[in-house]
Structure formats: C-alpha cells, structure tokens
Amino acid sequence: MNKRELLPAIARAMITKQLGKPATIPKTTDYPWLNEPAATFVTLKLHGELRGCIGSLKAHFPLIDDLQSNAIAAAFHDPRFSALSEDELEQIRIEVSILSLPEKIEFVSETDLLAQLQPHIDGIIFDYGNYRSTFLPQVWDQLQTPKRFMAQLKQKAGLAADFWSDEILIYRYSVEKFTEPDNAE
C-alpha cells in the first residue's frame, strides 16, 4: 500500500475501532517512516461539507501516533460537531495532511503581510497573545483572497475581522495531503 492510500486508511481504521467495529491497523514495521516525527491534520467531510478537523501544528510524536490521535479527535472531539455516528462512517471522506515546519513571516503592516501570502499554497498560523488559529492551505478554496482569508482567520481566533496589532505573529506552512478516493464517499 502506498502513502496516499495508507494514511487515510489508518485514520479510517482508528475511527472504525473507536466505534467498536473491527479494523486492522498496518504494522509500523512494514512502513518504518510511520515512526518518524510528523505533525498531521485529519479532515472529515460528509457530502462535501466539513464534518470534523483536528490536528497538530508541530511534530512532537511519531506520524502513526499523531495520525491516530487526530483521527479520533476529528471524528469524536471536534467541538463544532457532535461525535461521528456509526451511520456516518461509510459516508465520510477522510483527508490527511502532513504539515511542514512552520516558518515565521516578517512584515511591516497588514498590507505587507497580505502581499506575501500565497493562496492555495500557504497554511497560516495566526498568533496574538492568547489568540491563536490556523487554516490549512485547502481553506483557500473557500476564502480565495488574502484579505478574506486573514479576516476569517482572525475571527476564528476570536478577534474582529478588522483587528490589527504590531504584536501579531504569522507563520506559514505547506502540507502534503492524502485524500480517500471519491468512491469512499
């Protein structure tokens, strides 16, 4: 099994097991790279709509552990949604994203920051005091301009869309994403 098939399959198996159904998790000895540290996000979609998304921004654990933890969290602990039901299991489509190391963006103003953002490439971490949020690069599909993307990111953090401070820190990252085929939906 290749990486593109394996990672969503592991996430699905973890969710299936959590629902009390039988599922097989591949042995990490068959895929040694699963033991390397990685930061992952697991996104669940139901009929094309977001159904759960949880992840890690930094690689603290082996890929297999981070993936399994985030799969369970996306299905059962995303505070925006009720826990995934057994009926929904066969209808969801799973996407796994592996994040690169975040890199700080240097800017002198919001206009300067917006000019540096790369739509459909950058995942962004917004950090201001106790306010923090992130959007994966896939979110550019819904929020196609840097201004809209940043406004929604600030709102997700709990701030006004037009909030600005020179104390804001912004980090960018890229992802390698692995999505179940359409026939899994």
Examine the domain organization and report whether 62 and 133 are in the same domain.
no
User: Which residue, 77, 99, 121, sits at the end of a domain?
Assistant: 99
Domain that holds residue 59: 3-99
Does residue 185 have a pLDDT over 50?
no
| Whether residues 28 and 15 fall in one domain | yes
pLDDT digit string (tens) for 112-169?
999 999 999 999 999 999 999 999 999 999 998 999 999 999 999 999 999 999 999 9
Is residue 140 situated within a structural domain? yes
Residues 84 and 23 in one domain: yes
Whether 18 maps to a domain, the answer reads yes
Lookup result for tokens 């540290």: 37
CA dihedral 150, 179, 60, 84 (to 10 degrees): 90
Task: Look at the pTM and tell me if it is higher than 0.85.
Answer: yes
Domains in the chain: how many in total?
2
Q: What is the DSSP string of 70-123?
A: HHHHHHHT-TTSPPPPHHHHTTEEEEEEEEPPPEEPP-SSHHHHHHH--TTT-E
